[in-house]
Amino acid sequence: MAIAITLEKFLQKQDIEYNVTVHPRSYTSMETAQVGHIPGDRLAKSVLLRDGQDFLVAVVPATHRLDLAQLSRLLERPLEMASETEVGALFGDCEFGAIPPCGTAYGLETVVDDALIRQRDIWFEAGDHEELIHVDGAQFDALMGAAEHGRISQHA
C-alpha cells in the first residue's frame, strides 16, 4: 500500500515538504520506532476519540500514553475511544491502526501533545504499516495548523 490518498492530497495542498521512510511491517508504535530506527519520542501516534457526537484525533509521542482524563479536562467535555468500526469508516483509505495525525485532512478536530511541538523531526503513519512520513519540526507545526495542543499524555 502507498501513502493514503487523502493524506497525500492534504500534504500537497498544504505545500508540506516530506520524505517517505519504508520499514518492515509493524503493528505498534514502539515496534514501528524500533524497526524504523526512529526515536520513539519523535514518532507521532494518533488515537481516534469521540465525545458522543463528534470525533477527534489526539496525537502523542509513541513513548507516551494518552491521558484521556487530562484531554477531557482540556477540551471541557467527556471523551472515549472510538470503535474499530468508526475508525474504519472515518479512515477508509488507511489500514487499521495506521492513521495519520492530520485529522484536518479527514475533517476532524485534532489535538497535539506539547511534547511533539518541541521536536526537531517528526515521523508519522502514512496510512499503512510499512511507510512513515518524515517532516521537520517546522513543517509538522505547519501541518498541524490551528490544532489545539497541551499536555495530554504521560511517559509510558
- CB proximity list for 151: less than 8 A, separation 6 or greater: 67, 70, 113, 114, 115
Per the prediction, the chain carries an average pLDDT of: 95
Sketch out the chain's domains with CATH numbers. Answer: 5-155 (3.90.960.10)
pLDDT band of residue 123 (cuts 50, 70, 90) is very high
Q: What is the pLDDT of residue 1?
A: 60
Q: What is the pLDDT of residue 9?
A: 97
- DSSP tag of 118: T
User: Is the distance from CB of 134 to CB of 143 less than 8 angstroms?
Assistant: no
**What number is the average pLDDT over the span 83-96?**
95
User: Is the distance from CB of 106 to CB of 90 less than 8 angstroms?
Assistant: yes
Q: What is the pLDDT of residue 118?
A: 80
Q: What is the pLDDT of residue 29?
A: 95
3-state DSSP assignment of residue 77 = coil
Predicted model pTM:
0.96
Between strands 55-61 and 109-113, the pairing is parallel
pLDDT band of residue 68 (cuts 50, 70, 90) is very high
